[in-house]
Chain A
Amino acid sequence: MAKIELNVDGKSHTIDADNDMPLLYALRDDLGLKNPKFGCGLAQCGACTVLVDGQPVRSCVTPVDSLGKSKITTLAGLSQNGVPHKVQAAFIEEQVPQCGYCMNGWVMTTVSLLATTPKPTDAQIEEAMTGLKCRCATHVSIMRAVKRAAQA
């Protein structure tokens, strides 16, 4: 057990946890955040994705003591005063999710993609997104939303 400091969605928190506990459990259980989700715990799906200093990271396999002073952003932390991030606005506009359980992975990965590649080609979108899972199979809606966000 160790005292570990985390900077999440602009707020500092200190938790008591095993050093090797995955960040996902700190976010959900210790901080009580509803995002991200446990999908596999194996870095295979993206349901647990958060941004660490802007990079999408699979929190289910990220040891909680490995973050240092990094800034962690969750899905709920993307919006400003309830105003959705442009990627969120595009996913809402396209009514993308069915069950919605996978959306962390897709939205967060899109945010980081557009930060470096504002006008991605289809191939660049695919390269950024491959490996993320959506069991409800909303892939065609996801593509529409990513393109809409890139135009916003």
Chain B
Amino acid sequence: MNQHINRRHLLSAFGALTVSVVMPGVSARAATLGLEKRPALDPKKLASYISIRQDGTAIAYFGKMDMGQGTDMGVAQMVAEELDLPVERVLVDMGDSGTSLDQGGASGSTGVSNGGVTLRNAAAEARRLMVDMAAQHLGVPAADLVVDSGIISSKSTPAKKVSYGELIGGRWFDSEVEWNGQFGNGLAVKTIAKVKDPKDYKVYGTSPRRRDVAPKIMGTGDFVTDIKVPGMLHARLVMPEIAGASPVAVDESSIKHIPGARIVWEKAFLGVVAPKEWDAVKAMRALKVTWSDAKAPFPEQKDLYSHIRNAKPVKTGGEGAFLKEPEKVADAFKGADKVIESTFEWPFQSHASMGPACAVVDYQPNGQTTLWTGSQKPHHAGYGVAAVLGLKNEQVRGIWVPGPGSYGRNDAGDAAIAAAIFSKAVGKPVRYQAMRNEGTGWGPKSPASVHTVRAGIDKDGKVIAWHFHSKSFDRLNVNSNESYPGDSLPGQLIGSPPKPNNVYGTPSNSYKFPVRHETWEVIAPMLDSGSPLRSSHLRDPLGPEIHFAHESFVDEVAFATKRDPVEFRLAHVSDQRDRDVIKAVSDKVNWQARTGARKERKGDVAFGQGIAYSTRNGTRVAVVAEVEVDMKTGKVRGKKFTVAHDCGVVINPQLLTQTIEGNVSQALSRAIHEEIKFDTKNVTSVDWETYPILDITERPLTIDVVLINRQNIPPNGAGEGSMRPIVAAMANAIFDATGVRLRQGPFTPDRLRAGLA
């Protein structure tokens, strides 16, 4: 009955530290780490964040995870820095509700800025305590001690020394920290220890290598799809042709010929299980179902934006003068010599992760239920599984295992709930993996939206009023975590009512205009429950589309007032660090001032260059895109991107650069290809033919990254900020090349040709 799971984060490059866990469970896990009898996880206890093994290695317990951008390495570096340990001697145990506190999972690029900072503070406190212990042990004052590579020694008598391992290795810190009372992203701790002065940094700014790379390339690491539990069955869902239809009759005999195949049916949730995976797939395909006579829920695709425009808002919000003093705003526009207005439209887009989501649940009503999930928020996925199974949160352990891609709230959260429903129904561990059409077609989407921007210009060409307005589907029709079953598709199918949040967002930048206001309206979903168009967070939630509108419009206003886009931005952006990234990127590309489209052309190919800038929770990014447009076919190539990036102190320049490269390329994919297609019955983007993404022949040829390192400013998130301005920079570059202002995405050959016609 032994189950061997190679813990990916403990695998160093070539198996120097291969650790197998025998039957997953807190105590078994702790034993493998050389740490018995771990006290219960308690946010007020230092031991919940950090421990020292007998060999002097530190383990940081990280209640978030890394999806391949190197967040865990960033955290290891922060902890190593405070402990004065080489980074190779810091392990990060992450994404497991059995070993780490709920730090919110991966969310909003807070892995380093929140999660890492908490563990850094804990590490500083651990060091302080160990120095005190060493002072007692060696009989010298603490002020006489120095730490180097985990060895504490006396400055005056260097022979007097003791290691971290000798002091506390294998025992738990018995000490408290000051917890702020929050779980999730907001969890923070204060300690007596002071963190290091930036001038003493040794590990920050270096680029140690990620630990998950070799197992992924050697084919030795586990993905969530690889988890096997004895007695496990394979499951598939059976989904309706018309979204919103539910099964009214199921013909059991239609799958009788498939060995061990069984039906699981509860309300609108219908699926099959079988001991062999292929048999589950066959049963899913063979099952004869009579579906309810559901009315086709969607308008025609071509009517999407008029649907959004005409729909009655269910919620409005925003910032600025508009809400408090609407008259003042109206007056400001009245005083304008001219008013410029543009409207921008952006479609639904899919996570379309590389593989459809998978989860394994081993339901144990009288013991510990285990969930293996690719969800970014394994603690929350565990709460959702507990809720759907009627268990208490602490009865479910949620273990994150790398999934097939993760860019926010994708279908992983749905898979967790589905696997739980299946496991309870059949009384066995169940592995559920969706099919490709579900991954692309039925997973959560980023919401389609319409953005209207207006600027009032006085007779001297000065902007005197600015209004940015979005109308959209809900940013969080299903929440970005899955702790409530109604926030998942299978939960909705078994009758958990949806709880839409009805929220949206506003542009993020530091432009100053005499009057500036930003408002939004959220409209109701087209199908309340069980919808393939339910909306949620996709990497840099709302960022690409809001800033596509905002930064395109900034260029429009600059040109309308005969100003250069870079000069206009520098003149109106009020924050010095924001100006610095704009300056840095324009210097890097040797930007030539212009006051309109330059339409550079060689034969059928037009060349253009465009800038955009935005901020995200303290991180600021400016980008210049260089494009080629084939004037015959209308095909756009994003050739070169130059990115100036300021996220405070840079911890790992190499991994940061590669994160930026990935974001640029993924945003390029969204800019030129991605649009969820649907008909009146259902989503019709169901695979890579019907939902194309970037091909290697379309990759940027150059991505130049300028990192602005602010040694004295704490790290801000870098996972998403560079995703944000890319689409806008592309649109501005296309305008520069062709004189065509695209106000609807994605920038496909059809749209280009229509603009050129």
User: What per-residue 1/0 map shows which CB atoms of B332-358 lie under 8 Å from chain A?
Assistant: 000000000000000000001111100
Q: Is B219 among interface residues, defined by CB-CB distance under 8 A?
A: yes
Complex formed: what's the CA distance from A22 to B277 in Å? Answer: 11
Given contacts A25-B277, A44-B689, A135-B352, contact A101 B223 (CB under 8 A): yes
Given contacts A28-B277, A99-B403, A135-B405, contact A142 B696 (CB under 8 A): yes
CB distance from B260 to the nearest CB of A (A): 13
The residue on B at minimum CB distance from A145 is B217
Residues of B contacting A37 with CB < 8 Å? 223, 225, 354-355, 404
Given contacts A44-B688, A75-B218, A98-B68, contact A140 B354 (CB under 8 A): no
Residues of A contacting B354 with CB < 8 Å? 37, 39, 45, 47, 99, 101-102, 133-136
The residue on B at minimum CB distance from A142 is B696
CB distance from A44 to the nearest CB of B (A): 4
Residues of B contacting A29 with CB < 8 Å? 234, 276-278
Given contacts A34-B223, A101-B223, contact A137 B662 (CB under 8 A): yes
Given contacts A136-B666, A137-B665, contact A34 B213 (CB under 8 A): no
Instruction: Tell me which of A22, A82, A92, A132 contacts B217 (CB under 8 A).
Output: A92
The residue on A at minimum CB distance from B356 is A38
Complex formed: what's the CA distance from A55 to B471 in Å? Answer: 51
The residue on A at minimum CB distance from B277 is A29
Complex formed: what's the CA distance from A102 to B209 in Å? Answer: 20
Complex formed: what's the CA distance from A25 to B226 in Å? Answer: 12
The residue on B at minimum CB distance from A106 is B696
User: What per-residue 1/0 map shows which CB atoms of B223-251 lie under 8 Å from chain A?
Assistant: 10110100000100000000000000000
Q: Is A114 among interface residues, defined by CB-CB distance under 8 A?
A: no
Complex formed: what's the CA distance from A122 to B352 in Å? Answer: 28
Query: How many residues of A are in contact with the other chain, CB < 8 A?
Result: 58
User: What per-residue 1/0 map shows which CB atoms of A98-116 lie under 8 Å from chain B?
Assistant: 1111111001000000000
Q: Is B423 among interface residues, defined by CB-CB distance under 8 A?
A: no
CB distance from B93 to the nearest CB of A (A): 19
The residue on B at minimum CB distance from A1 is B259
Residues of B contacting A28 with CB < 8 Å? 277
Which of A21, A47, A76 has the most CB atoms of chain B within a 10 A radius of its CB?
A21
Instruction: Tell me which of B403, B658, B697 contacts A130 (CB under 8 A).
Output: B697
User: What per-residue 1/0 map shows which CB atoms of B696-716 lie under 8 Å from chain A?
Assistant: 110110010000000000000
CB distance from A107 to the nearest CB of B (A): 7
User: What per-residue 1/0 map shows which CB atoms of B262-286 lie under 8 Å from chain A?
Assistant: 0000000000000011100100000
Which of B218, B665, B693 has the most CB atoms of chain A within a 10 A radius of its CB?
B218
Q: Is A59 among interface residues, defined by CB-CB distance under 8 A?
A: no
Residues of A contacting B403 with CB < 8 Å? 99, 101
Residues of A contacting B212 with CB < 8 Å? 97, 100
Complex formed: what's the CA distance from A17 to B277 in Å? Answer: 12
Chain A binding surface, main DSSP class: loop
Indicate if the CB atoms of A131 and B217 lie closer than 8 Å: no
Residues of A contacting B218 with CB < 8 Å? 75-76, 79, 84, 88, 92
Residues of A contacting B665 with CB < 8 Å? 137-140
Indicate if the CB atoms of A139 and B694 lie closer than 8 Å: yes
Instruction: Tell me which of B219, B234, B277, B693 contacts A35 (CB under 8 A).
Output: B219
Given contacts A82-B15, A91-B217, A99-B406, contact A141 B276 (CB under 8 A): no
Complex formed: what's the CA distance from A103 to B426 in Å? Answer: 34
Given contacts A41-B436, A143-B696, contact A137 B666 (CB under 8 A): yes
The residue on A at minimum CB distance from B703 is A140
Q: Is B687 among interface residues, defined by CB-CB distance under 8 A?
A: yes
Complex formed: what's the CA distance from A47 to B405 in Å? Answer: 12
CB distance from A114 to the nearest CB of B (A): 15
Residues of A contacting B356 with CB < 8 Å? 38
The residue on B at minimum CB distance from A98 is B68
Query: How many residues of B are in contact with the other chain, CB < 8 A?
Result: 61
Q: Is B214 among interface residues, defined by CB-CB distance under 8 A?
A: yes
In A20-68, the 8 Å CB interface with B consists of: 21-22, 25, 28-29, 32, 34-35, 37-42, 44-45, 47
Indicate if the CB atoms of A126 and B696 lie closer than 8 Å: yes
The residue on A at minimum CB distance from B352 is A135
Indicate if the CB atoms of B433 and A38 lie closer than 8 Å: yes
Indicate if the CB atoms of B355 and A47 lie closer than 8 Å: yes
Indicate if the CB atoms of A101 and B405 lie closer than 8 Å: yes
Indicate if the CB atoms of A40 and B688 lie closer than 8 Å: yes
Indicate if the CB atoms of B688 and A45 lie closer than 8 Å: yes
Instruction: Tell me which of B226, B234, B278, B663 contacts A18 (CB under 8 A).
Output: B278
CB distance from B222 to the nearest CB of A (A): 7
Q: Is A4 among interface residues, defined by CB-CB distance under 8 A?
A: no
Q: Is B460 among interface residues, defined by CB-CB distance under 8 A?
A: no
Indicate if the CB atoms of A107 and B217 lie closer than 8 Å: yes
Complex formed: what's the CA distance from A130 to B703 in Å? Answer: 20
CB distance from B410 to the nearest CB of A (A): 10
Which of B68, B228, B352, B433 has the most CB atoms of chain A within a 10 A radius of its CB?
B68
The residue on A at minimum CB distance from B374 is A99
Indicate if the CB atoms of B219 and A75 lie closer than 8 Å: yes
CB distance from A43 to the nearest CB of B (A): 10
Q: Is B717 among interface residues, defined by CB-CB distance under 8 A?
A: no
Q: Is B533 among interface residues, defined by CB-CB distance under 8 A?
A: no
Instruction: Tell me which of B67, B69, B219 contacts A76 (CB under 8 A).
Output: B219
Q: Is A121 among interface residues, defined by CB-CB distance under 8 A?
A: no
Given contacts A45-B354, A95-B210, A98-B67, contact A39 B404 (CB under 8 A): yes
Indicate if the CB atoms of B696 and A132 lie closer than 8 Å: yes
Indicate if the CB atoms of A40 and B696 lie closer than 8 Å: no
Instruction: Tell me which of A40, A82, A100, A143 contacts B436 (CB under 8 A).
Output: A40
Q: Is B669 among interface residues, defined by CB-CB distance under 8 A?
A: yes
In B633-660, the 8 Å CB interface with A consists of: 654-655, 658
Complex formed: what's the CA distance from A17 to B220 in Å? Answer: 26
In B158-183, the 8 Å CB interface with A consists of: none
CB distance from B538 to the nearest CB of A (A): 12
Which of A29, A82, A95, A99 has the most CB atoms of chain B within a 10 A radius of its CB?
A99
Complex formed: what's the CA distance from A141 to B225 in Å? Answer: 25
Instruction: Tell me which of A84, A88, A101, A140 contacts B404 (CB under 8 A).
Output: A101
Residues of A contacting B688 with CB < 8 Å? 40, 42, 44-45, 133
CB distance from B340 to the nearest CB of A (A): 34
Given contacts A138-B665, A140-B700, A141-B658, contact A97 B695 (CB under 8 A): no
Instruction: Tell me which of A32, A38, A97 contacts B355 (CB under 8 A).
Output: A38
The residue on B at minimum CB distance from A37 is B355
Complex formed: what's the CA distance from A32 to B14 in Å? Answer: 22
Which of A76, A84, A125, A135 has the most CB atoms of chain B within a 10 A radius of its CB?
A135
The 5 residue pairs across chains A and B that have the minimum distance between CB atoms: A98-B68, A100-B216, A76-B219, A137-B665, A75-B219
**Apart from A97-B212, A103-B216, what are 9 other A-B pairs with CB-CB below 8 Å?**
A29-B278, A35-B219, A39-B355, A95-B210, A98-B662, A101-B405, A132-B696, A136-B666, A140-B699
Can you list 27 contacts pairing A with B, beta carbon distance less than 8 Å?
Answer: A25-B281, A34-B220, A35-B219, A38-B356, A39-B355, A39-B404, A41-B435, A42-B436, A75-B218, A84-B218, A92-B13, A92-B217, A97-B68, A97-B213, A98-B67, A98-B405, A100-B402, A101-B223, A101-B353, A130-B697, A131-B695, A136-B68, A136-B666, A138-B665, A140-B699, A140-B700, A141-B658
